[in-house]
Amino acid sequence: MEECPLLSRIKESISGDHSPGSKKGQFHYQWIVVAAIFMIGFVGYGFHFSFGVFFKSLQEDFLWSRATTSAVFSVYMALSVVFSILGGWAFDRYGARKVFALSGFFTGLAFLLTSMVTASWQLFPTYSFFLALGTAPIYVGSMSTVSRWFSRRRGLALGIVSCGSSVGMMVISPISAFLITRYGWQNSYFILSLAAFLIMIPCALTLKKPPVMVRALPDPGGKNDEENVEHTLTEARKQRSFWLLVFVLFFFSSCSYAVLTHIVPHAIDLGISAIEAASLLGFIGIGSFLGRLFLGRASDSIGSKRGMLISSLLMAAIMFWLIGSSKLWMIYLFTIVFGFALGSTAPLNAALIGDCFGLRHIGLIMGVIDIGWGSGAAFGPAFAGYLFDIRGSYFFAFLGGGIASLLASLLVLFIRMPKPEAKGGPFSA
């Protein structure tokens, strides 16, 4: 009896050759990689961006100043610099499956241990150290892994994957606020720790080691990257663009994380309720989702450099808007635009690093360049908290964020792209 064509298609999709080595299997598996890493980013960076929701509870429970409370997050970000480099090396050496599984384990362990602290000093090893160990490799691993699986649609794939953190911010921040209100901050950390164990680790175990180079696995319907120059870390760090990227990320990150850490307490200071203030992180997540998807996709057409320039200029403009914002609708508008600018940097930075230095050693190179991002994220919140403590407002902190974003825009102009893309003057991408 002749088999039904529809049944044949279903059987083929289930049991056909979907191994990464086959062209058809490659296409299917590429999007499995995207889905799995999306979920890892959803949980890992949803936790990462939720600190502002816990900020007031920690400050009041331990009777800290805002600078001291910010220091917990700043130490976490400083340690993330180190673990990001180690993570980039580990992804190049051992592959995504093992490293992401360890990330899930340490992320869950961090929140589990934090839920049990009885003294303020314990937050530094439980939260700052173990959470850095868990989440620091996620960005480098996500961007480098996906970059190796895609060629023609790389910007789109990077944008989709990086949206995991935006969706995580939209979902986990309000959930965290609800849990804190209902169960307290310690029980909330315990509940959230379960998500890391039950989501991040299983998703990591679905991943297979990516190709050593994209040219060994061309994107179906796309083109090989054989024309791209492949640089080692030693070669890359001798180039001006390498150090420009480090400082671009430092300025951009110091502004971004000052806002992410202090926007909730700032809103509460303006008379906004705690629940509405916590929802601001969700709106940042919405904007971030749109930025990652739109500018990530657009970078395939306009180029990664031009996209980064647009993002940094937009960040500067909206920071100056925040200085004069006192009403709830003005703050909500700020969060959407701020999130758009912030979110777009993740796929744009990854694409820009790949364009400038190739993909063979992208994990390690990205991890080292990420020193700029981690250093800025450690500096920005602590400095903003210090300025608030001595001035009684965030005016100078937010003004400094706008100036830092303008400096980032200026440095982007001097990044030198490879010759095939270097067309059209300083604004070429």
pLDDT at 320: 94
Q: What is the pTM of this model?
A: 0.67
Contact present, 381 and 327 (Cβ < 8 Å): no
How many whole angstroms from its chain centre is CA 331? 22
Give the pLDDT band of residue 209 (cuts 50, 70, 90): low
In the chain, pLDDT over 70 holds for what percent of residues? 85
- 376 vs 382: CA distance, rounded Å: 10
> In the predicted model, what is the mean pLDDT of the chain?
80
On whether residue 140 sits in a domain, the answer given is yes
Long-range contacts of 209-215 (CB under 8 A, 24+ apart): 209/95, 209/96, 209/97, 210/33, 210/95, 210/96, 210/145, 210/148, 210/149, 211/20, 211/148, 211/149, 212/148, 212/360, 213/148, 213/359, 213/360, 214/147, 214/148, 214/149, 214/150, 214/151, 214/359
421 lies in a domain? yes
Residue 9 pLDDT level (bands cut at 50, 70, 90): very low
Q: How far apart are CA 408 and CA 253, in angstroms?
A: 10
Please say whether the dihedral angle defined by the alpha carbons of residues 278, 378, 409 and 424, taken in this order, is positive or negative: negative
- Would you say residue 189 lies in a domain? yes
More confident residue, 249 or 420: 249
Q: How far apart are CA 373 and CA 30, in angstroms?
A: 28
Q: Which of 59-73, 216-230, 265-279 has the lowest mean pLDDT?
A: 216-230
**Predicted local distance difference test score (pLDDT) of residue 322:** 92
Task: Note the pLDDT of residue 88.
Answer: 80
- Averaged pLDDT for residues 200-211: 82
Say whether pLDDT at 374 is over 70. Answer: yes
CATH label of the domain that carries residue 311: 1.20.1250.20
CA distance 221 to 159: 19
Q: Classify residue 394: in a domain, yes or no.
A: yes
C-alpha distance across the termini of the chain, in Å? 59
Q: What tens digit of pLDDT does each residue of 290-304 get?
A: 887 787 777 777 888
Rounded Cα distance between 122 and 129, Å, is 10
DSSP assignment of 264-328, as one string? Answer: HHHHHHTT--HHHHHHHHHHHHHHHHHHHHHHHHHHHHH-HHHHHHHHHHHHHHHHHHHHT--SH
pLDDT tens across 121-172, in order?
888 999 999 999 999 888 888 877 887 777 666 777 777 887 787 788 778 8
CA dist., res. 195 & res. 43, Å (int)? 7
C-beta atoms surrounding 183 within 10 Å: 13
Residue 227 pLDDT: 47
| pLDDT value for 369 | 87
Domain assignment present for residue 20? The answer is no
| pLDDT digits 0-9 by tens, 49-95 | 788 788 878 888 888 887 788 888 888 888 887 888 888 888 877 87
Task: Find the domain containing 421 and state its range.
Answer: 25-427
What is the sign, positive or negative, of the torsion defined by CA atoms of 70, 72, 73, 78?
A: positive
Question: What's the pLDDT score for residue 224?
Answer: 44
The sign of the torsion formed by the CA atoms of 236, 132, 200, 35 equals negative
Residue 2 in domain: no
So what's the pLDDT on residue 27?
56
What pLDDT is recorded for position 352? 84
For residue range 328-370, what is the model confidence (pLDDT) as tens digits?
888 999 999 999 998 888 778 777 887 888 767 777 788 788 8
Number of separate domains in the chain: 1
The SS3 call for residue 151 is coil
Provide the H-helix boundaries in 150-232: 154-183, 185-195, 201-205
Neighbours of 87 (CB within 10 A): 29
220: confidence class by pLDDT, cuts 50, 70, 90: very low
Residue 14 lies in a domain: no
Domain contains 11: no
Q: In the predicted model, is pLDDT for residue 249 greater than 90? A: yes
How far is Cα 125 from Cα 37, in angstroms, rounded to an integer?
27
Residue 344 pLDDT: 84
- In a 13 Å sphere around the CA of 423, the CA atoms on its Cβ side amount to 4
